[in-house]
């Protein structure tokens, strides 16, 4: 049996091919998470102050994850929230020793701290049910990554919020990271770039339904009315229904 949480149609076919089970019975469930509200907010020049204010205004004393692109960004955001905003925060990235990682996870899991600022190293096996918000301080590298990371919110099926703080120059940082990782002439880089551009398009949508965009990426057709009239419409659907 092969299990996966977030595979596009082409990845599903790749899995069947790699495992040599082309005629396997495939069971799929909807990718829709009706309790999650999707938003994109323009990142201001004072991004750290902005994120601090956002948490104070909307997520006071609630459990959350802030995803960052780099280790330095994790530390910077965490230190700012702790020192300047008095919001209990820890940071988590691949550079931490295994023992430190366990300590950080435990503090967050038990509620000693409100927020974890993390790179994508933080994720596997995270099943804390009461994560009320996932904020991306920098956009993800792909729609798949974003769906997976934002999906760590609201595992208890209660309303939760997924926000991307977006500015154009962050996309350049993502490209830079991909180029360093893949080498810009390789096929892998071209694929990664195409995926990153889709994520950028998601962030720059002014009117389209964000939920519909995410679901259609995974090959699922979705009527935007269900978002608009649902309990947690995305920011764009909320604008059109006003």
| φ, ψ (nearest 5 deg) of residue 22 | -60, -25
Closest to 142 in 3D by CA, of 123, 160, 120, 167: 120
Q: What is the DSSP string of 165-213?
A: EE-HHHHHHHHHHHHHHH-TTSHHHHHHHHHHHHHHHHHH-SSS-HHHH
* Architecture per CATH, 32-238: 3-Layer(aba) Sandwich (3.40)
List the chain pLDDT tens, one digit each, 242 residues. Answer: 888 877 888 888 899 999 999 899 988 888 999 999 999 999 999 999 999 999 999 999 999 999 999 999 999 999 999 999 999 999 999 899 989 999 999 999 999 999 999 998 787 667 799 999 999 999 999 999 999 999 999 999 999 999 999 999 999 999 988 888 766 678 888 889 999 999 999 999 999 999 999 999 999 999 999 999 999 999 999 998 66
Task: Give residue 20's region: left, alpha or beta (phi > 0; psi -120 to 50).
Answer: left
CA distance 127 to 117: 16
The CATH 3.40.50.300 portion of the chain extends over 32-238
């Amino acid at each position: 049996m092969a299990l996966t949480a977030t595979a596009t149609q082409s990845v599903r076919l790749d899995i069947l091919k790699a495992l040599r089970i082309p005629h396997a019975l495939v069971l799929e469930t909807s990718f829709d998470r009706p309790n999650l509200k999707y938003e994109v907010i323009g990142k201001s020049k004072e991004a750290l102050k902005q994120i601090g204010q956002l948490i104070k205004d909307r997520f006071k004393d609630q459990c959350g994850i802030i995803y960052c692109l780099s280790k330095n960004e994790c530390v910077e955001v965490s230190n700012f929230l702790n020192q300047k905003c008095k919001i209990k925060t820890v940071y988590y990235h691949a550079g931490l020793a295994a023992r430190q990682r366990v300590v950080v996870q435990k503090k967050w899991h038990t509620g000693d701290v409100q927020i974890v600022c993390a790179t994508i190293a933080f994720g596997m096996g995270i099943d804390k049910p009461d994560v009320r918000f996932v904020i991306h301080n920098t956009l993800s590298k792909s729609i798949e990554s974003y769906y997976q990371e934002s999906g760590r919110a609201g595992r208890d099926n209660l309303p939760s919020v997924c926000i991307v703080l977006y500015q154009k120059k962050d996309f350049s940082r993502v490209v830079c990271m991909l180029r360093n990782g893949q080498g810009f002439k390789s096929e892998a880089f071209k694929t990664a770039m195409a995926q990153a551009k889709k994520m950028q398009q998601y962030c720059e949508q002014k009117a389209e339904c964000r939920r519909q965009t995410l679901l259609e990426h995974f090959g699922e057709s979705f009527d935007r009315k269900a978002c608009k009239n649902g309990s947690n419409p995305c920011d764009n659907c909320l604008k059109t229904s006003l």
